[in-house]
């Protein structure tokens, strides 16, 4: 029984990585669901009939939640539509689970920069606060308290730039890199 219909899949940049699928549980296709810090059973509005998106081959594929049960160890088990065998569950092992941002209650602002959203910045153009071109994002490194962008300057040199709420002026629109929609940052003095 379907309680909700999926009208359209959300854009990747509008989703947050909340969990990773682990090993199969039982023989009917249930899968262990390991929450990604800071998310939990109480912070994400997933219920029977709602949709989660599983990353497969670089695409977010919708799966209907048929059942979600919390376990005492900070994880959950989930029954997904169209997954009803152990082999079907094994095929999902290790894959990431995403949900639209609006399903996350009180998401810390830095959660939006973690995971794949930060990786989506690769290839995007960077400008400083005054709108002067800085270069292109080559790589994103994520450390426990920091996200650092490796930016290739026009002269070929690479510079490391921190990414945080305090330094972010404007995120690029869309996933396709464009000089018309750059990542705009306040760049601390001395980094360029």
What are 62's two structure tokens? 């919708």
What are 23's two structure tokens? 């090993």
According to DSSP, the β-strands at 75-80 and 125-127 are unpaired
CA dihedral sign, ordered 185, 165, 100, 58:
positive
Domain ranges of the chain: 12-107, 116-185
Pick the CATH number of 12-107 from 2.40.30.60, 3.30.420.40, 3.40.50.300, 3.90.226.10: 2.40.30.60
In sequence order, the β-bridge partners of residue 136 are 125, 152
CA–CA dist 35, 43 (Å, integer): 10
CATH architecture of 116-185: Roll (2.30)
The pTM assigned to this predicted structure is 0.56
* pLDDT tens figures, 101-149: 888 886 555 544 445 556 677 888 999 999 999 999 988 877 656 788 9
Range list of H helices, the chain: 86-90, 116-119
* pLDDT tens figures, 51-67: 999 988 778 899 999 99
Identical fold for domains 12-107 and 116-185, yes or no, is no
Q: What is the per-residue burial (b if ≥16 Cβ within 10 Å, else e) of 149-170?
A: bbbbeeeeeebebebeeeeeee
Q: What percent of the chain has pLDDT over 70?
A: 84
CA–CA dist 33, 119 (Å, integer): 23
* pLDDT tens figures, 154-176: 888 999 999 887 888 887 766 56
Output Rg (C-alpha) for the chain, integer angstroms: 19
């Amino acid at each position: 029984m379907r309680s909700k219909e999926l009208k359209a899949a959300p854009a990747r940049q509008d989703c947050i990585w909340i969990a990773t699928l682990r090993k199969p549980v039982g023989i009917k296709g249930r899968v262990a669901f390991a929450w990604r810090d800071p998310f939990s059973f109480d912070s994400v509005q997933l219920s029977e009939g709602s949709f989660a998106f599983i990353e497969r081959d670089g695409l977010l594929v919708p799966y209907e939640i048929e059942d979600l049960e919390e376990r005492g160890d900070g994880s959950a088990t989930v029954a997904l539509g169209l997954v009803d065998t152990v082999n079907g569950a094994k095929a999902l092992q290790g894959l990431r689970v995403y949900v639209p941002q609006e399903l996350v209650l009180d998401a810390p602002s830095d959660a939006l920069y973690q995971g794949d959203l930060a990786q989506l910045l690769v290839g995007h153009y960077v400008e400083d606060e005054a709108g002067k071109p800085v270069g292109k994002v080559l790589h994103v490194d994520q450390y426990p308290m920091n996200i650092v962008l490796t930016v290739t300057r026009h002269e070929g040199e690479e510079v490391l730039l921190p990414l945080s709420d305090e330094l972010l002026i404007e995120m690029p629109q869309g996933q396709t890199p464009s000089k018309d929609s750059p990542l705009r940052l306040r760049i601390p003095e001395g980094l360029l």
